[in-house]
Amino acid sequence: MLKIISECRVQPFGKPWMQQLPSDDESDGIGMNFDGQDTGLDYYPCTYGKSRTMFRGPRVSLDGPYTVVIGSCEVYGRYVEDPFTDQLAERTGRRVVNLGVINGGIDTFVKDEAIMQIIGGAETVVIQAMGAQNLSNRYYTVHPRRNDRFLKHSTTMTNLYRDVDFSDFSFTRHMLSSLREVSQNRFRILQLELEIAWVARMTVLLSRIKGNRILLWIEDETDRGLGAEPLFVTVDMMQQLEAALDKIVHCNVTDAMTEAQTAQMVVPQADLARANQFLTPAAHERVAENLVRAVRRVDGMAA
């Protein structure tokens, strides 16, 4: 049985270390998010290999040993100047490649061969336990890169929800919230499918990783309508993956997601209402502290 590392302490860090390379992206990305709005931060957007997916930069050299962290908004570090990936690089002296994707899910990585090659070449891969809502399944299909985008529903979904007009939906979270309001019993059938699909997709992802595998469980118990984050992912589901993992790192950041901590983020006025959905600087520090210990232990070093 894998031991789940769950000690979490907040500790301040200095500025991140990383080897910076020019980005292939034509835009400089200064103060712009994906909607072209001013965020006040420069994310140095970049790509790796032939992938079309944009990641937070500066781009890190892959010439030599490196560690990869894959995940969604939490890994990307939106509105945070010093994300936990940079802190991990500074504390361990490693090249750490931030492969966090805004609103990304497991499909973002599994279905991108160029990115899977980057992941396959890493010494250590940290995999965030991303929510089960943003992946294609027997009931609906999501966008291959922006996994929060609902594309289409299947005949199986139509048979389950004959009283719903799916043309009203563009995003998975909105759709799922509406479906749960229609029928709790039918929604449980759909949720079970998401749970099964999550375990199956994670199994595929882990089977393609050659290096050390660390599952990062960032837990936020705040219920924003569908439950705690990551959505629809349980301890039992993660334990089903233990044979393919070297470590599971659990970090509960609920108490670090306060209004006072949100005030420490670099957020444009237009985005203030949704800023509390993203990890705060204190939460990033907490995750970094745990990951530093886990990475060192995997390497056989003193934590």
Contact 130, 104 (CB under 8 A): yes
CA distances from 147 to 106, 117, 128, 143, 150 (A): 8, 20, 15, 5, 8
Tokens in use for 116? 């899977």
**Rounded CA separation 7/84 (Å):** 16
**Cα–Cα distances in Å, from 232 out to 87, 96, 176, 179, 220?**
29, 29, 11, 15, 12
Task: Name the DSSP class of 103.
Answer: T
What sign results for the dihedral spanned by CA atoms 214, 218, 219, 224? negative
- pTM for the model stands at 0.87
**Which pLDDT score is estimated for 259?**
84
Tens digits of per-residue pLDDT, 16-63? 334 334 333 333 344 544 454 554 799 999 999 999 999 999 999 999
Whole-angstrom distance, CA of residue 200 vs CA of residue 208: 13
Kindly state the greatest CA–CA separation across the chain: 58
Ranges of residues in the chain whose predicted pLDDT is under 70: 1-39, 300-303
Spatial contact of 66 and 96, defined as CB atoms under 8 Å apart: yes
Q: Alpha-carbon distance 212 to 122, whole Å? A: 8
Type of residue numbered 51: S
Report the top-level CATH class of 4-132+202-298.
alpha beta
User: Distance of CA 116 to CAs 67, 96, 214, 248, 271, Å?
Assistant: 13, 16, 16, 21, 32
Helix (H) or strand (E) holding 291: helix 281-298
Helix (H, G, I), strand (E, B) or coil at 94: coil
Alpha helices in 106-161 (DSSP H): 106-110, 113-120, 155-160
**pLDDT at residue 269 in the model:** 85
In the 8-state DSSP scheme, what is residue 171? B
Give me the residue spans of the domains in the chain.
4-132+202-298
Q: Which residues does 16 contact at the CB level (< 8 Å), separation at least 6?
A: 82, 83, 85, 86, 87, 89, 90
Give 228-245 pLDDT, tens digit per residue.
Answer: 999 999 999 999 999 999
